[in-house]
Amino acid sequence: NFRGSSAYGHEFGIANRGDLGGQDAEDILAGVDLAIAQGWADPERLAVMGESYGGYMTNWLIARTKRFRAAASLFGIFNFITDYSNSEISSWEKDYLGKYYWEDLDLYLDRSPAKHAADIHTPVLILHGDADHNTFISNSQEMYRALRTLGRTVRFVRFPREGHGFVEPNHVRAQYEEILAWLEAHALGLGPSRVRAAMEPVRSGAWELRVAEVRAPEHYGGVSPKARFLEVEMLVRAVAPTTERFGLLLLNNAGGDIWLEAMPGETGALGAHHCP
């Protein structure tokens, strides 16, 4: 737990007041270093993500370091002046920075990721609800505009009706699909077009096929690939009444082998034709 979070008493919980983006950020990076030292994390495939204050810290960290290959920022602060001016909780900045922005403009600017936007090179996915009156969506709009102008890799997804956090089931699902696709593409290097396309359902007649997950395992049963293993989990369902059976035509233009396996316990017929 970084300074300013819970579980270590009151003084620890307020240790980052007046120091947002200071020792709290140092603690987070120290945790990353420990995870790497313990062998739990690959330093070449690091990603960072967070919501609300965690979104601010995500924005701040990718503006201060290039060690992350991908980032997902969910309804986070980008500009403290913008956030104070639009949030329904306008006391937050005063509580945590100690002053209003007209009393210490340099502090508000220096601790805002917006001031350091040109230093952001990490591909970042930005998610925000249109009805968020806590961390106002203008934060994410400003970040997206700045990074687009700078020619950075960025994607901005707005969720209608959502406030400070997503609650509609279809939005919750979309949130995780977006994050998964982004991290697969940029942290694991599977390629953005291939992974994002996999998340879009394909309709044929009464049947719908959706790729639920794409993975690139390093080995199967201790066997390493000549190039790469690519594991694709597909879900097929009938979206309209039908008596027709479905089949799959697998086109393998890249060479290598293809296996098709049904999940244990699944009912119904599965047909496939492999074209090498």
> Which residue in the list 73, 128, 164, 186 is annotated as catalytic?
164
With H, G, I as helix, E, B as strand and everything else as coil, classify residue 113: helix
Asked if 68 contacts 122 with a C-beta cutoff of 8 angstroms, the reply is: yes
Rg (CA), the chain: 23
Question: Which distant-in-sequence residues (6+ apart) come within 8 Å of 178 by Cβ?
Answer: 72, 125, 127, 155, 157, 199
C-alpha angle 112/43/38, rounded to 5°? Answer: 110
Known catalytic membership, residue 164:
yes
Cα 160 versus chain centre, distance: 18
Question: Which distant-in-sequence residues (6+ apart) come within 8 Å of 26 by Cβ?
Answer: none
> For strand 231-238 and strand 207-215, is the pairing parallel, antiparallel, or unpaired?
antiparallel
* The two structure tokens encoding residue 216: 């690139």
Strand order in the sheet with 70-74: 47-51, 70-74, 124-129, 154-159
User: Cα(93)–Cα(136) distance, rounded to whole angstroms?
Assistant: 13
> Which residue in the list 52, 121, 138, 171 is annotated as catalytic?
52
User: Cα(6)–Cα(234) distance, rounded to whole angstroms?
Assistant: 40
User: What are the residues facing 106 on neighbouring strands?
Assistant: none
Catalytically annotated residues:
52, 164
